[in-house]
Structure 1
Amino acid sequence: MTRSFYRRGPDHRAGAPVTFLDVRRRFQFRSIEIGRWVTEPEKQRSASLFYDALCDLMTILGGTESLVSLRGTLALQYGIGGRPGVSAHYTPATRSFSLAKNAGPGSIAHEWFHAFDHYIGEKLFGETQRGQFASKLWLGRDDAVRHPLNERLQACFKAILLDEKGAEPSELFRCSVKADKAAGIQYFSLPEELCARAFEAFVQDADVKNAFLVSGTRESEEAKLGLYPVGAERERVNGAFYSYYTALGRALRSAEK
C-alpha cells in the first residue's frame, strides 16, 4: 500500500513506527490476521495507518480501547478472506471484520459499526438470535431493556430510519430503496447498512479527520444518490450519535478506572 491518506488529528504514537502486534496489544483485539501476500514494508505502513485510524475512532467516540475491540471480542483481518468485488466486510459468525489489501482503506468506520451493531444487540434486547443486528431488531421489537444508554441508542436508530416526526420512513431510507430498485437488489435499504453509512457520516464530520478511517460520505457516487444523510437529517443523526457515544464513553471510563 503506497497511497497516502489525509489525516488531521493528534499524534497517538509520537511519530514512532508501530506493528500489528502493537495494534493488538493497545486495543486487545481477539486476534489479528495478515494475509500472506502482504509484504513486510506493507505490514509496517499499514500497521501505522490502522493504529492511527483506530485511535482516531476512539477519540471521535470519546471511548476507550475496550470500545474499539468490543471488549476483546472483535477480530481483525487485513489482506485475507476477501470476497470478489468486496473491499471490506464484517462476518457475524466469527465476529471479525476484514479489509482487502488494496481496496479496504476508508471502510473501517463502516465495518466497525457493523461489528458494534451486532455486538450491542443482546445489550439492547437481552436474548437475540445469533448474527442479528440491533438496528434490524429495533424495527421489529418493542421490548428493549430499559437503560439510559439504550434510550440514546434507540434515538440513533429513530433518527436514521424514520423522519423527524417519527411516523414515516426517513429520506435516507427512501433514497436507499430507490437505489435498490434501480440496481435490482436489496442492500442499501437494509437497516444495518443504513445505520453503518449514517455512522460513517458522523465520523467523517468530526473535527478529527482520517481518510483511512472513513471517506466518501459527501462527494462519492453513493453520496450523490442520497445514500448518506444530508442537511437537517444529517444534523439530527450526528446529534443522536454524539449523545449516545458521549454517554457510553463516560460510562466506560468510569467503569474502567
Structure 2
Amino acid sequence: MPVPRIQRQYYRNGPPHRGGADVSFADLVKIFGFNSIHIGRWVNAEELQLAANLFFDAFCDLQQLLQVPPEVISLNGSLALTFGIGGQPGVCAHYQPQGRILALAKNAGGGSLAHEWFHAFDHYIAGKMFGKTATRNQFASSAWLQSRPVISHYLNELLSSAYQILFLSADGENESTFFAHCRQLDASRNRLYLAMPEEMAARAFEKVLQMQSLKNSFLVSGTLKSKAAEMGVYPDDALSTELAGLWLQYFRLLGQGLQYKTRSKNTLVDG
C-alpha cells in the first residue's frame, strides 16, 4: 500500500526553523498573520501535525528565499488557507480568487505550495499595480498582458519588466519563445491552460525558487526533473535566471521597504 503523500519524507536543506519542536496551524496564523485556516474533517491528528510542520517550514523557507517579513507571506493578512477540504480528482492544489483561499489536498498537495502562493500574490498585487482598472478577480499577469496602465512605482516597474520578458520577445513586438511553446502544447491538447498568463507566471516562479540553493520539496518540486519539465512547461534556465534577477530583487526591496516603515513607526511610538 503506497504511503499517503502527506506522510512522505520531503527533502529540505534549510535551517531548523522549529528547533525540532512541533508547531500548530494556530502558530502559522500567529506568526504569518493568515486570515484563517480551515482543516478538513477527514484529516486525522497525525496528518494534522505533519501538515502543520511541513507548512511552517515551507513558509519560513519561502520567507527566507524572498527576504521578506512574515506578513508578506500572508499577503498582509488577506490570504486564507485550507488543507484537506473538498478537492477534485487530479487537482492537488488550487487558489480561489473569491475569498483569497489557497487550498492544498491532503494527499496530493506537496510540492505545489509555491505555485499556488504565487497565484495568490499575482491576484493580490493586481490592485497595487493597476488600481481599479484591474477587475476584482484578475491576476496582475493577465492585466499586464491586456496592456492595462501600470501605476508608476519602482516595484511595479520591476514586476512589469518580469512580465515583459516572460510574455514578449526581446524587441517587445512578438510573443516570447516560452509563450509560443505553451500555446503549442495547449493546441496539441485542444485546451487553454498552460498558456494562460497566470499559469505561465506561477510555473516560472516555481522554477525560479527551485533553482535557488535553499531547497524544500514540499514548497516546490518537479520543475527541474519531471515529465512536465521534459515537455517544456517551465521556462528554460536562461529565462528563469533573468526572472530570478527581477523577482528576487522585487521581493528583497519590498521587504526592505516594509522593514523601514516598521522601524520608522516604532521610532515615532517610542519617541
TM-score of the superposed pair, with normalisation by structure 2: 0.92
* 1:43-90 deviation per Cα after TM superposition (whole angstroms, max 9, x unaligned): 011100000000000100111111000000000000013123211000
Q: Distance in 1 between matches of 2:215 and 2:25?
A: 22
Q: Distance in 1 between matches of 2:81 and 2:107?
A: 16
Q: Distance in 2 between matches of 1:40 and 1:245?
A: 35
Correspondence 1:183 to 2:197: no
Structure 1: which 4+ aligned runs deviate by more than 4 Å?
A: none
Shift in Å at residue 145 of structure 1?
A: 0.5
Q: Distance in 2 between matches of 1:191 and 1:76?
A: 23
Shift in Å at residue 231 of structure 1?
A: 3.0
Map residues 13-92 of structure 1 onto 2, 5 A cutoff: 13-92=18-97
The aligned counterpart of 1:246 is 252
The aligned counterpart of 1:225 is 231
The aligned counterpart of 2:221 is 215
Select the residue among 152, 157, 173 that pairs with 2:158: 152
Q: Distance in 1 between matches of 2:168 and 2:72?
A: 27
Q: Distance in 2 between matches of 1:236 and 1:248?
A: 19
- Return the letter of the residue paired with 2:14: G
Q: Distance in 2 between matches of 1:107 and 1:204?
A: 12
TM-score of the superposed pair, with normalisation by structure 1: 0.97
Give aligned-pair identity as a percent. Answer: 46
3-state DSSP class of the match of 2:82? strand
The aligned counterpart of 1:95 is 100
3-state DSSP class of the match of 1:97? strand
Correspondence 1:130 to 2:139: no
Q: Distance in 2 between matches of 1:53 and 1:104?
A: 12
Answer whether contact 1:121 1:132 (CA < 8 A) is retained. yes
* 1:188-212 deviation per Cα after TM superposition (whole angstroms, max 9, x unaligned): 0000000000000111111210000
The aligned counterpart of 1:196 is 202
Answer whether contact 1:87 1:99 (CA < 8 A) is retained. yes
Shift in Å at residue 226 of structure 1?
A: 1.0
3-state DSSP class of the match of 1:210? coil
Shift in Å at residue 184 of structure 1?
A: 1.1
Correspondence 1:169 to 2:175: yes
Q: Distance in 1 between matches of 2:200 and 2:245?
A: 16
The aligned counterpart of 2:11 is 6
* Residue ranges of structure 2 left out of the alignment (5+ in a row): 1-5, 264-271
Q: Distance in 2 between matches of 1:163 and 1:82?
A: 37
Answer whether contact 1:81 1:98 (CA < 8 A) is retained. no
Q: Distance in 1 between matches of 2:148 and 2:191?
A: 28
Q: Distance in 2 between matches of 1:63 and 1:54?
A: 11
- Return the letter of the residue paired with 1:96: I
Q: Distance in 2 between matches of 1:253 and 1:226?
A: 38
- How many equivalent residue pairs? 257
Map residues 102-141 of structure 1 onto 2, 5 A cutoff: 102-127=107-132, 128-141=134-147
Shift in Å at residue 167 of structure 1?
A: 2.7
Work out which of the two has the higher radius of gyration on C-alpha atoms and give 1 or 2: 2
